[in-house]
Amino acid sequence: MKKLISLVCLLHFTPIAFASTTVLTADRMVDVEAGKIVKNAVVVIENDKIIAAGQASVTPYAQDAKVIALGDATLMPGLVDMHVHLVGSNMHGYNSLSVSLPRATINGVQNAERTLLAGFTTVRNVGAEGFADVALRDAINDGTVPGPRMFVAGPSLGVTGGHCDDNLLPYEYQHFSEGVADGPWEVRKAVRRNIKYGADVIKFCATGGVLSKGTKVGAQQYTLEEMQSLVSEAHLRGLTVATHAHGTSGIKDAIRAGVDSVEHVSLVDDEGIRLAVKNGTYFSMDIYVTEYILGEGAKAGILEESLAKERIVGKTQREAFTKAVKAGVNMVFGSDAGVYPHGDNPKQFSRMVQFGMSPIQALQAATINAATLLKKQLELGSISPGKLADIVAVAGNPLDDMTKMEQISFVMKGGEIFKAPVAP
Ligand code: ARG
């Protein structure tokens, strides 16, 4: 009888002793909160969370832990891209009309994996038809397919004939994008509909764009009144708002209306930069994509009128980026991958440094700043005890050469390893 009792106790208590502990070691780790490198780094992971991180001499771990020694490598928090379109194709202009939504969604599965393996453990997907982004997010979250954590917008909202509409077909086709909404009450209703079907964030188009047919890239599209209505509805429901805006007045009215981030920001003036600093508005500036559009866009079907617009905004946007960084605007990493191939997102890091950021600032833009804009800074964005174990690594030191970010060698998301260097 005595024996039986002790056996029962043993069975009952044994599982508690089996928490799975993984330890990562590397010559360096980027502490994005302090803005510095920690040498001889150790990170202790239990299940999906980081439980300790720091210099080896002050970060003990259990003898029986599984150790992954990365050697001459740099550990960084999982990267966050705040402007992607995973669902879609890399077909542009009239070529894009041949791609069905089911096909674009299947592409999305492949794009999600490529993005994750490039080091992006989180993305904000700013616009997809048919709530295909909601489906992809949910499939990733329940482990059906591999991919980054997704924060999704559903259909982007925009005015009739604007950048977020689809203006390729003539009148008799009566074709509109799902996010078309005009007037303060229609935009409120569109926000409510996007929330109903699973949006985490609201995306709208404040001005014309480069890749849309027939829009003036600098012209404002939503009025201040419409934007105020849209933003107040989203904020009421606890969602943040991202706006596509290249044009000067549209950027400023969007900031006045209270948007959380402005995307592209190509033709911003000094007043727009001052307003952003004052209101804490984030800028997400896709300063790599211009090279792809002007280099390979014509082959991919980009319309000549779009190439002409890009020749103007690409250069201005880079100048604006330099000014915004100098003025101290809150900056996040946003690539617009989808316009160019997914997985090439990290090419933007070296351009961010070329046009005015320190390497640490570029990494902060893609980690802690992005997590803060997502309101997930308690769970994501740095290698800190208590946060989710989203950790990536590169060989060597990327602070010496940001093109190294294009060669992510190790990817862990939520404690699960998706990519690791081949054992020597
Ligand atoms: N989706 C954006 C648009 O069509 C891409 C802009 C790309 N150009 C740039 N310089 N960032 O407007």
Residue 77 CA, ligand 1 centroid: distance in Å: 27
CB 287 within 8 A of CB 267: no
To test the ligand 1 pocket, which listed residue (246, 251, 307, 316) has its Cβ within 8 A of the most ligand atoms? 246
Looking at the predicted structure, is the pLDDT value of residue 12 above 90? no
- Supply 329's token pair: 């605007």
CB 239 within 8 A of CB 200: yes
User: Hey, whose CA ends up nearest to atom 6 of ligand 1?
Assistant: 210
pLDDT band for position 20 (50/70/90)? confident
At 114 the three-state DSSP class reads helix
pLDDT band for position 409 (50/70/90)? very high
**Identity (one letter) of the amino acid at 397?**
N
C-alpha dist (Å) from residue 405 to 27, 120, 207, 277, 398 = 17, 11, 32, 28, 6
Residue 290 CA, ligand 1 centroid: distance in Å: 7
To test the ligand 1 pocket, which listed residue (165, 266, 336) has its Cβ within 8 A of the most ligand atoms? 336
> What residues flank ligand 1, with Cβ below 6 Å?
209-211, 264, 266, 286, 289-290, 310, 313-314, 317, 336, 339
Looking at the predicted structure, is the pLDDT value of residue 17 above 50? no
424 vs 334 pLDDT, higher one: 334
Q: Could you check whether 2-78+383-419 and 79-373 share the same CATH topology?
A: no
* Atom number, ligand 1, closest to the C-alpha of residue 286: 11
CATH 3.30.470.20 assigned to 79-373: no
- Alpha-carbon gap, residue 87 to 90, rounded angstroms: 10
What's the predicted TM-score (pTM) here? 0.95
> What does the pLDDT look like over 148-162, one tens digit per residue?
999 999 999 999 999
pLDDT band for position 90 (50/70/90)? confident
Contacts of 140-148 with CB under 8 Å at 24 or more apart are 140/112, 145/109, 145/112, 145/113, 146/112, 146/113, 146/116, 146/418, 147/86, 147/109, 147/112, 147/113, 147/115, 147/116, 148/112, 148/115, 148/116, 148/120, 148/121, 148/122, 148/123, 148/413
Looking at the predicted structure, is the pLDDT value of residue 331 above 80? yes
Which pLDDT belongs to residue 353?
A: 98
Looking at the predicted structure, is the pLDDT value of residue 102 above 90? yes
Provide, rounded to the nearest whole percent, the portion of the chain with pLDDT above 70.
95
User: Hey, whose CA ends up nearest to atom 10 of ligand 1?
Assistant: 314
Looking at the predicted structure, is the pLDDT value of residue 332 above 90? yes
User: Hey, whose CA ends up nearest to atom 5 of ligand 1?
Assistant: 210
Share the mean pLDDT of the chain: 95
- Which CATH number, 3.30.300.130, 3.30.420.10, 3.30.43.10, 2.30.40.10, labels domain 2-78+383-419? 2.30.40.10
> What does the pLDDT look like over 388-406, one tens digit per residue?
999 999 999 999 999 999 9
Residue 392 CA, ligand 1 centroid: distance in Å: 28
Looking at the predicted structure, is the pLDDT value of residue 192 above 90? yes
Residue 301 CA, ligand 1 centroid: distance in Å: 15
Alpha helices in 258-378 (DSSP H): 270-279, 289-296, 304-327, 347-354, 359-365, 368-373
How many CB atoms lie under 10 A from the CB of residue 250? 28
To test the ligand 1 pocket, which listed residue (82, 168, 211) has its Cβ within 8 A of the most ligand atoms? 211
Residue 175 CA, ligand 1 centroid: distance in Å: 23
Domain residue spans of the chain: 2-78+383-419, 79-373
Helical axes 304-327 vs 270-279, angle rounded to 10°: 60
Q: What is the mean pLDDT of residues 127-138?
A: 98
Residue 211 CA, ligand 1 centroid: distance in Å: 7
To test the ligand 1 pocket, which listed residue (203, 289, 307, 315) has its Cβ within 8 A of the most ligand atoms? 289
Which pLDDT belongs to residue 1?
A: 41
Residue 335 CA, ligand 1 centroid: distance in Å: 10
Residue 317 CA, ligand 1 centroid: distance in Å: 10
> What does the pLDDT look like over 199-214, one tens digit per residue?
999 999 999 999 999 9
End-to-end Cα distance, the chain: 54
Q: What is the mean pLDDT of residues 5-18?
A: 42
Residue 362 CA, ligand 1 centroid: distance in Å: 20
Which pLDDT belongs to residue 423?
A: 58
